[in-house]
Chain A
C-alpha cells in the first residue's frame, strides 16, 4: 500500500469539506480523483501533504502514520505534489527551483550534485534548454512542467498532481500524458491525480475515485465510473455526452 486514508474528515468552520473519506492507492498505480468544483479534491491533497490537519481520521504513507506530520516531513518521506495554481519560486531560476527540491526533499546532497540532478530532471520533463531562465518568465505549460520537475526532484515514491492539464492545448495535453506514463514507468513513481480534463483521465488512470460534497461517490475503472448513474447524475453526465 502506497497511500491510505481512513475516515478522513476536514471542516472549515461549519463547512464539511471532507467527510469520513477512506481511500487507498497501491504502489505503481495511476489513480484519478475527480468531482465537481468544491467537492474537496484540492482539500484532500492539501490534507494529505500536511498543509491542512484533518479533524478526524488518519493518513498513512507506505504504512507509516503521517496524520500529524508537518508538510516538510511528509515530503521527505516520499510524497511529492504540484499545485492547481502553479506556484514556482518566481524570482529564482528554473534550475534553482528544481535543485531546491533535490537539496531538501531527498535528503543530503551538495549544491553541485543537486544542480546535476536538477539538469537531469529538467531533461526528463523536456525543458533542459531553459535552466537559467527566471521562473517568472516561463509560459504556463513550462510552469506546469517546472512544478512537476520540482516535485520529482524530491525523489518521491508517490506524486500528487493537481490539474496538470488545465489550461493546456491538445498537443500539450498529449505531451503531459506521455510524461505521466514516463514518470510511472521509468521512475516507478505512483501517481494520484486530480483532473478536470476527462479524456486525459480516461487515457491515463487505471482507477478513478469520484468525490462529491467531500464524500466518495464512486470508485472503479474509468469506464465503470463513467457508466455509474450516480456519477452521471452528480457530475459526469453532460461532460461525457459531449465527448
Chain B
C-alpha cells in the first residue's frame, strides 16, 4: 500500500462512519428528507450542513498549500462549463436517488448494513456506469 491508498482508505473509513451515523444509510430517512411537500425529515440538512462547514474551512487551507501532505501534487477538477450533459446527468441521478433513497456513498456503505439490497444497488449502479461509457464515450 502506498501513501495515497492509505490516506484514501482512512478517508473512506471516516466517510462510511459519517454516513451511517448521519442516517444516510437509511433510505427511509433519505426519502423523508426529499419529501418536502409531505412528511419532511430535516435530518439530512444537518448532515450536509456539517460536511459543508468542515469543507468550507478546508478549501482556504488547500489554497495556501503548494502540495498535499502525503502525495506529490493536487489533482482537482478544473472544468467550469455548464453543459446540458451536466444537467441531464444530474437530473437522472436525482430521479434514481428519489426512487430508492440511495446515492453512491450510502450504497457502498450499506453493504455492511443490508448486504443483499446494497449489493443489488451497487451492481445496478455499475451497470449504469457502463451504460454511461457506451452513450458518452470513455472518460
The reply to whether chain A is a binding partner of chain B is: no
